[in-house]
């Protein structure tokens, strides 16, 4: 083994790597600036939704970064290739790794491509994907970032996303179940609750359709359950449900209709 | 490395890509208009169900869009192919990606083809597929869109759809379980409830068959459970169940038959 | 690119496709009529069960339809093949798709073949397959249709059917568990219940064997559970169970044997 | 396309298929009769268990039927092969299907072969396989038929059978847990229960070993649980358990040892 | 087709098969006798554990039987091979089946080989494998037989055995949790229970280490739970636990320390 | 077989292995020192976050160690290769093992590469990966080390990490649900609780946004549940929730608003 | 077939196998003795942890045993190879088996190699791997042996070990939740409990950090839950938790702070 050339080769590779890295960092910062400026202008002049613009901007940055890394690696390999191979026989394992790794990477990119093409999700949408809920922060070529409601940031490789449930596409349903006692008159309870519903429908601009009392949903152990359904503006369904719960509870109280606690019949027995 | 040709090639590609994109957008808008006009006319003149027409229209738009993208990509590659390949050695990875990605895509298309051929689902049907419930919004070649009852839009790749449960093909069953006390006479309770059922059967047009009291379903801890079964017009089963629950509860009240709360026998013990 | 020939080729293909479609529709309606007539005659003259005839009729229609589609596609490809290939280079992807798709399709057909050969299910049978219950509506070469009890129509690709549980092959068991109090005499309760069972056995023609009180199934928290087992004519097991429950409950009431509510021993404590 | 030869070929194939089918049906009925006669004689003269004879008879019929179908298909293909291929280009797909399908079929046959060779199950055994319980009705080369206790007939492809649990190979264990109150003397309760066990052991011929009171199994919330274990003749374990439950309950009653209801200590509080 | 030679060939094959079967049966009975005699002698003269001898004897019989079947099949094929192939073209499917089937078979044999080499289980050990508990009856090359505690015989193909849990390798732990009331003094209860433990430790030869009261395991809703742990001779852990439960319960009773029933605080409210 | 050369070869290999091991240990200790010194200096001079520096230091050590092992094995094989192969024919199995093993190893490295490139996790982050929670201790090329909250150290091969949930990227949400009685006035309770929230918001620097009472979350069996939501500095969400719970409970007590115990309605019955 | 040479060959093979087995047994016992002596000396002279020495000793014995078996099989095959192959054609199946079996074996060895290289587990560590808990008894090349806490010995093939959780690497956390009544003052309870914690922290040498009362963990149905957290010396966390539970319970008792039983509010109703 020729130890001198072994060392010299090592130093040479190190120097060239440093140059390549610096070039890479400069190219990246310039490219990013151009992309961001372009999308900011686009947003000002055209009539595309903000979510879509952000989606495309994040994607462009993401794609640019991968292309850059790809070009960078290609240049490095093409310049130092022979020496490196001559020096360390193990360099072949990198090629193998890329071969193996590419399979998963391509699955990620193909799935990502269709998510974008079919506009399944935009940045800012509230979605469920791969069993995780949250607001989309970025749709990348390889990874989708979702911010959960507790603040957690989820990194999901696109190949893990099979079915996407998008909760930001159209009006949502608000659903409230109210319990009344078996002794109360159902018709009267429905009348009282429908009156509240009608008042809220006119007052609350977030409501699109309903709310309506649809009828006796179930006969429980201790209560008769009545269901109220409404349609609301997107993402306002929880707030509307909270309002409905409060108003309906107060209306039932005011009209002397009982929201019953669990009941139990006691039979005393003397022997024991 | 020849940096000048590198840059010139980049600019040339960029220009040609812009032209191709504009051509693509014009072709798409014209094609879409033609397809929509055609299906609107077809719907007016022929005797095909609305759901089927919508299914085919969405599918035609969907297929047209994929064909367009395919032609577009083919043209782009055939015109700029050599330069692109010469410029960036990495273009081969796109071919690889298409190769890998095609496998999943073909699975989607083949499954989609049989879903359409065997008419498993039409737009507007209420179905369960891949564990998700809802109304079908679109049956595409690659993806099926289902609108859940809470307003969520589910994007399901067709390959994820194995068994389809279609809830919009024929009459549906309404099923109500009523509890009576152990002290009540079963025969009398059945008579009262059957009378209510018979009255509803004649009054309610949504009911196709029954409702009938089929007998003692179970002997519970604190109650004897009687089951009532009916057949209704499609999608009206829940409304009929709600009506049955309300009417039967009021009939039992009126006839002094108890819907019992949970019972417990208490035995007092003095030592402790 | 020669845009004129591109357009002309498109129009020509369109025209020929229309002719082929019309021929296909005519052939299908004639073929279907012949098959249906043949099976109707077969049913009148021979001594095969109705379920089997219906199974074979549905299958023949199904197989005929696939053969027709196959011939149709072959003709279309053989006539327009060259032009199509010349016009759109992408036609190769259809071949690829058939290649990939055939694998799943063949699995479906092979499984379907053995389901039919071994007569695992007939149209009209009540079966459990792939986790879904219901009455079989059609056993196709590719798909089996099962109508669930709530009216839902399930489309199950045959490859998803591994084990089949057929509930329509022979007599079924009716099973009822009755609770009596710990204070009651077990022997007497058995005697009372066996008397009821014997009476029903003679009265009810749906019962094939039993019903018999087999003994103390378990010693529960508050009750001694006695099990009654019978064999009934197919599909009548639920009705027999309902009858048994009603009759046994009334017999226990008449003989002063208690069906106990849950018991609890209370120990009062003063400190707190 | 030559439509005349197309039609003539179709008619010719149809005629030959009819002849082949008739030959097939005759061969099958004769073969079946010979096999059945052979096994009936074998059963009369030799000292093999009935279950084994039935297993082999069903298997012979099953294997004969598959061989016949195989020969039948081979003859049909060898005679009409060329014409068929010439007429419908699609005949190749049948070969493909057999190729694909054979894989699953061979898995079935190999597993079935070892199930038979290692005598894992005989017809009439009570087994658990592939998550399904019941009495074996037939062990075929491809499919095993198990009759569930509710009368359902399960068709299980042999490849789905990985581990087999055979409940018909040797004596079975009967296990009964009896609860006594915390206030009762454990030693006395054990004495009373052991006396009952000893009496039953001498009276009941179905019991092979025991029953014995093995001791305090657990100290429950409201009761001390004593466990009784016995060994019984195969399939009689449930009947023995029922007898033990009845006899032990009556013995505890007779000796004033309490089987306790659930206990709860109540502490009253005045504020609220 | 030459029907005469077809029939003659069939008869010839049948005759030769009968001779081969008789030879096979004789070879098997002689071989089995030799193996059994050998192992019986080995057991008398050498100092190997009984479990290991039985394991090896069962294995030798098992391996001998497979070798015999293999030789038998080889002979049959080599003698009648050509004729058979000539007569029935389908004979190739047997080769195919062996090819496919061998894969699973080899997995079984390799896993079985390591189970034996690493002495993971011996006949008579109490083990958990593939989710099934019981005493090992036989470790074969292909299948392991485990006798469950309810008497069921489990046949487990060796490839299904991934991790083995052997409960017969060394001393086992006995663990008992005792509840005392919140009002009792913990130190005193520990003293009373430790005294019982020390007495049992000296009296009971099955105990290897302990038992010791390790402290307050949890503060439950109504009770303070104290844990007692001991080490016992293998398979005696359940018996020791039963003894500990009985003795500790009686000691607590004798010292006036309460084993509490579940507690609940009741607050009465007048409005309703 | 030549036993002398067999032995001599063995001794020679042993000697050379010892030398190689010593060289390996020296190289490793020197290399590790250089890497650590470099990163310590980097941390002092540059403005990179501590977590990122630690991540890269651990990674550099990790990558250096793998490169060293790789070079070491290459040298050993290149020097002794021929003899070793000549001596033990089995050396080929090492090559096979590397071939097979590389597949899993490459998956690990590729996934690890993207985790680092996309900065999904840094050392010191609190993450959930592969179903395990904890603080990241090291992100290696092959394995990621996570320290669980109970002190356990989890070693996770990178290929097992599909989706990463990073809980250390931005503000977190604190969420508290408070129950009030059905008799209390909801508006007043909200006012009292919002007052507490506003006071805490000004006092507590860990809170970024809120806390706010968002409304009636649910109508429980015995209580009306009000939800309070806030945004806090990262990792302080639990402490803020604890503070909120304490302060809100005390405020409700002070204002006479009841936090209710479970309610039950008792109905006495005389017969039994 | 030549039956004489068939028999002679069999006897010759048998003789040679016996010689090989004896040589194998001698080599194994000598090798084992050398390895054990070497490691005993190493342990006396060097400063390596006992766990690591034991891990390497077990591994060396294990690897030596596999090498021996490998050499043994190679010798046997090279000497008798031709005859054996000539005699029994089936010998090829052994080669096939090794080929198939090697795949799983290599997975085991590669995984085992990294477990050892990255020092994930040492003999004597308490770990969780493949869903099984316990103390590591041996880390082999193919199998890891873990002794569960109930005394069971688990044999886990290394390929089944994906993520390893090592509980013996650093200090552990002790965590105790104490309930107090809603009527008690939280600040006072915290003060009392913190005083106990501080006393234990000074007295108990097993505690490294804390224990501290971190605050109100939850507002339960009937109790306010306060959490206490500490850091302890490895494997002492359970003992510290037990001490904390006992001391805190006694301190609350002494200060008149109630550990509450479950509460329930009773509302009496007269009608029924």
Quick one: pLDDT at residue F195?
93
Angstrom distance (rounded) from CA E161 to CA B128: 37
The order of strands in the sheet holding G207-219 is G172-180, G224-232, G207-219
Checking if the pLDDT of A80 tops 60, the result is no
pLDDT band at C90 (very low <50, low <70, confident <90, very high): very low
Considering only CB atoms, C153 lies closest to which of B113, B169, B221, namely: B169
D262 neighbourhood in chain C, CB within 8 Å: 221-222, 263-265
For residue range E185-205, what is the model confidence (pLDDT) as tens digits?
999 999 999 999 999 999 888
The per-residue pLDDT for B41 is 78
Degrees (nearest 5) of the Cα angle A42, A43, A48?
100
Burial C216-254 (b: 16+ CB within 10 A, else e): bbbbeebbbebbbbbbbbbebbebbbbbbbbbbbebbee
pLDDT at G268: 77
The answer to whether the Cβ–Cβ distance between C261 and A269 falls below 8 Å is: no
Q: How high is the pLDDT of residue E200?
A: 92
| Beta carbons of G155 and E163 less than 8 Å apart | yes
Q: Rounded to the nearest 5°, which phi and psi values hold at D163?
A: -95, 140
Angle at B177 between CA B172 and CA B178, to 5 degrees: 140
- Partners of B175 on chain C (C-beta within 8 Å) are 150
Nearest CB neighbour to B267, from listed C142, C148, C263: C263
pLDDT of residue B197: 92
Whether C261 and A267 lie within 8 Å, measured CB to CB: yes
pLDDT in tens, E97-147: 455 556 677 778 778 888 888 888 988 899 999 889 999 998 887 889 999
Examine the pLDDT at F98 and tell me if it is beyond 70: no
Chains contacting E (3 or more CB pairs within 8 Å): C, D, F, G
pLDDT digits (tens, 9 = 90+) for C106-145: 778 778 888 888 888 888 899 999 889 999 988 887 889 9
d(CA B206, CA B239): 9
In the predicted model, is pLDDT for residue B226 greater than 90? yes
Average pLDDT rounded to a whole number, residues C149-156: 92
Contacts of B261 in chain F (CB under 8 A): 267
Q: Is the pLDDT of residue B29 over 50?
A: yes
- State residue A217 phi and psi, 5-degree precision: -75, -40
pLDDT of residue G52: 74
Closest chain C C-alpha to D253 CA, distance in angstroms: 9
| D27's tokens | 């061969």
Cα distances (Å, whole numbers) of residue B261 to A219, A221, A224, D261, F267: 11, 6, 12, 21, 9
CB contact under 8 A, A272 and C265: yes
Q: Which two tokens stand for residue E216?
A: 């307050």
Q: Which residues of A touch C265 (CB under 8 A)?
A: 272
Q: Which residues pair with B165 in a beta bridge?
A: B128, C154
Q: Is the CB of residue D177 less than 8 Å from the CB of residue D227?
A: yes
Name the token pair of G29: 């016992």
Helices F237-254 and F186-203: crossing angle, nearest 10°? 130
Disruptive mutation site among A97, A155, A244 for chain F (greatest number of F CBs within 10 Å): A155
The answer to whether the CB of A165 falls within 8 A of the CB of A216 is: no
What do you get for the CA distance between the two ends of chain C, in Å? 96
Q: Enumerate residues 6+ apart whose C-beta is below 8 A from F140.
A: F58, F59, F62, F112, F158
Enter the DSSP assignment of G94.
H
Q: pLDDT grade, residue F90 (50/70/90)?
A: very low
- Which residues are CB-contacts of B204 (< 8 A; sequence separation ≥ 6)? B240, B243
**Could B265 and A267 be called an inter-chain contact, meaning their C-beta atoms sit closer than 8 Å?**
yes
Of the candidate ranges D16-25, D66-75, D246-255, the one whose mean pLDDT is the lowest: D66-75
C194, two tokens: 């066996």
Is the predicted ipTM greater than 0.90, yes or no? no
Contacts of B53 (CB under 8 A, 6+ apart): B39, B42, B43
Helix (H) or strand (E) holding C231: strand C224-232
Chain D positions touching E155 (Cβ under 8 A) are: 118, 120, 163-166
Are C170 and C207 spatial neighbours (Cβ–Cβ below 8 Å)? no
Question: What is the rounded distance in angstroms from the CA atom of residue F42 to the CA atom of residue B265?
Answer: 77
List residues in chain E touching F: CB distance below 8 A: 267, 269, 272
Model pLDDT, residue A34: 83
Alpha-carbon gap, residue A115 to A130, rounded angstroms = 14
Interface test with F, best of G216, G220, G229, G267 (most F CBs within 10 A): G216
CB C150 within 8 A of CB B172: yes
Please tell me the distance in Å from A4's CA to the nearest CA on chain F: 16
pLDDT tens column, F247-269: 999 999 999 898 888 888 888 77
B108-166 pLDDT, tens digit each = 877 888 888 888 888 889 999 988 999 998 888 788 999 999 999 999 998 888 889 99
Q: Which residue in chain B is spatially nearest to F265 when comparing CA positions? A: B261
F and G: number of Cβ contacts within 8 A: 133
Per the prediction, chain F carries an average pLDDT of 80
Cβ separation F120–A243 shorter than 8 A: no
pLDDT of residue C87: 34
Task: Tell me how far apart the alpha carbons of residues B158 and G135 are, in angstroms, rounded to a whole number.
Answer: 48
Sign of the CA dihedral with D88 first, then D92, D98, and D101 last: negative
**Pairwise CA distance, residues E49 & E168, whole Å:** 13
Distances (CA, A) of C190 to B177, C202, F124, F202: 29, 18, 71, 75
Per-residue pLDDT band for G132 (boundaries 50, 70, 90) equals: very high
With 80 as the cut, is the pLDDT of residue B20 above it? no
Which has more confidence, E108 or A49? E108
pLDDT for residue E123: 87
User: Each residue of C218-253: pLDDT tens digit?
Assistant: 998 889 999 999 999 998 999 999 999 999 999 999
The helix or strand, by DSSP H or E, that contains position D237, with its residue range, turns out to be helix D237-254
Query: DSSP strand E in C59-163: where?
Result: 126-129, 132-139, 143-147, 153-157
Task: Provide φ and ψ at E211, rounded to 5°.
Answer: -70, 150
A97 pLDDT above the threshold of 60: no
User: Pairing relation of β-strands B263-269 and A263-269?
Assistant: parallel
- Residue A72 predicted with pLDDT over 90: no
CA dist., res. D164 & res. G191, Å (int) = 62
Percent of chain E with pLDDT over 70: 80
Give tens-digit pLDDT for C21-30.
787 788 888 8
**Chain C touching partners, 3 or more CB pairs below 8 A:** A, B, D, E
Average pLDDT over residues E23-43: 81
Interface contact C269-E263, CB threshold 8 A: yes
Residue of G nearest to F220 (CA): G221
Tokens read off for F240: 């803020």
pLDDT (0 to 100) of residue E85: 38
Output the six-digit token pair for G135: 């103390």
Angle, CA of F22, F27 and F28, to the nearest 5°: 100
Rg (CA), chain D: 31
- Quick one: DSSP state of residue C159? G
Residue A264 CB contacts under 8 Å (≥ 6 apart), including other chains: B261, B262, B263, B264, F264, F265, F266, F267
Statement: residue B92 has pLDDT above 60: no
Contact status, residue D90 vs residue C70, Cβ threshold 8 Å: yes
Sorted by sequence, the CB contacts under 8 Å of residue B76 that are 6+ apart come out as: B16, B17, B20
pLDDT in tens, C177-228: 999 988 889 999 999 999 999 999 998 889 988 799 999 999 988 899 999 9
Q: Is the pLDDT score of G170 beyond 70?
A: yes
Can you give the pLDDT at residue F58?
78
For residues G26 and G5, what is the distance between their CA atoms, to the nearest angstrom?
Answer: 32
pLDDT for position C209: 87
Residue ranges and CATH numbers for the domains of chain F are 3-101 (1.10.287.1260), 110-166 (2.30.30.60), 172-254 (3.30.70.100)
CB G137 within 8 A of CB G123: yes
Q: What is the pLDDT of residue B30?
A: 85
When pLDDT is averaged across residues D206-225 and rounded to a whole number, the result is 90
User: Does residue G97 or residue E56 have the better pLDDT?
Assistant: E56
**pLDDT, position B242:** 92
Q: With an 8 Å Cβ cutoff, are E264 and D263 in contact?
A: no
What sections of A121-256 are H helices per DSSP? 186-203, 237-254
Mean pLDDT of chain B: 80
| pLDDT of A92 above 50 | no
Higher pLDDT, D36 or D252: D252
The rounded mean pLDDT for chain G is: 80
Give tens-digit pLDDT for F59-86.
778 777 777 776 676 666 655 554 433 3
Q: How many CB pairs under 8 A join D and G?
A: 3
CB contact under 8 A, C263 and A269: yes
The gap from C-alpha E72 to its chain's centroid, in whole angstroms, comes to 32
Q: Enumerate the residues of chain G whose CB falls inside 8 A of the CB of residue D272.
A: 265
Nearest-CA distance C110 → chain A (Å)? 29
Beta bridge partners of D91: none
Distance from CA of D250 to the nearest CA of E (A): 24
Query: Residue D271's pLDDT is what?
Result: 55
Any idea which of A149-153, C84-88, C198-202, G205-209 has the lowest mean pLDDT?
C84-88
Q: Residue B168 CB: number of other CB atoms within 10 A?
A: 19
The pLDDT of D89-109, averaged and rounded, is 57
């Amino acid at each position: 083994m020729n130890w001198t050339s072994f060392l010299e080769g090592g130093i040479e590779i190190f120097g060239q790597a440093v140059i390549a890295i610096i070039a890479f960092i400069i190219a990246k910062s310039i490219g990013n600036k151009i992309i961001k400026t372009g999308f900011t202008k686009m947003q000002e002049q055209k009539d595309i939704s903000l979510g879509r613009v952000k989606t495309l901007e994040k994607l462009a940055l993401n794609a640019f970064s991968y292309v850059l890394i790809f070009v960078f690696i290609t240049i490095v390999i093409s310049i130092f290739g022979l020496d490196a191979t001559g020096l360390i026989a193990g360099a072949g394992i990198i090629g193998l790794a890329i071969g193996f790794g590419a399979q998963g990477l391509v699955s990620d990119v193909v799935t990502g491509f269709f998510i974008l093409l079919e506009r399944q999700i935009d940045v800012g949408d509230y979605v469920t994907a791969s069993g995780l809920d949250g607001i989309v922060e970025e749709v990348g070529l390889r990874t989708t970032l979702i911010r959960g409601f507790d603040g957690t940031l989820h990194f999901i490789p696109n190949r893990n996303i099979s079915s996407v449930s998008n909760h930001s596409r159209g009006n949502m349903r608000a659903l409230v179940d109210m319990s009344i006692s078996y002794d109360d008159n159902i018709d009267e309870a429905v009348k009282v609750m429908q009156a509240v519903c009608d008042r809220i429908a006119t007052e609350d601009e977030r409501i699109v359709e309903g709310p309506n009392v649809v009828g006796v949903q179930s006969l429980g152990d201790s209560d008769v359950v009545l269901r109220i359904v409404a349609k609301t503006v997107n993402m306002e369904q929880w707030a509307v449900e909270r309002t409905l719960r409060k108003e309906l509870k107060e209306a039932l109280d005011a009209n002397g209709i009982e929201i019953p606690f669990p009941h139990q019949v006691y039979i005393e027995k003397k022997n024991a």
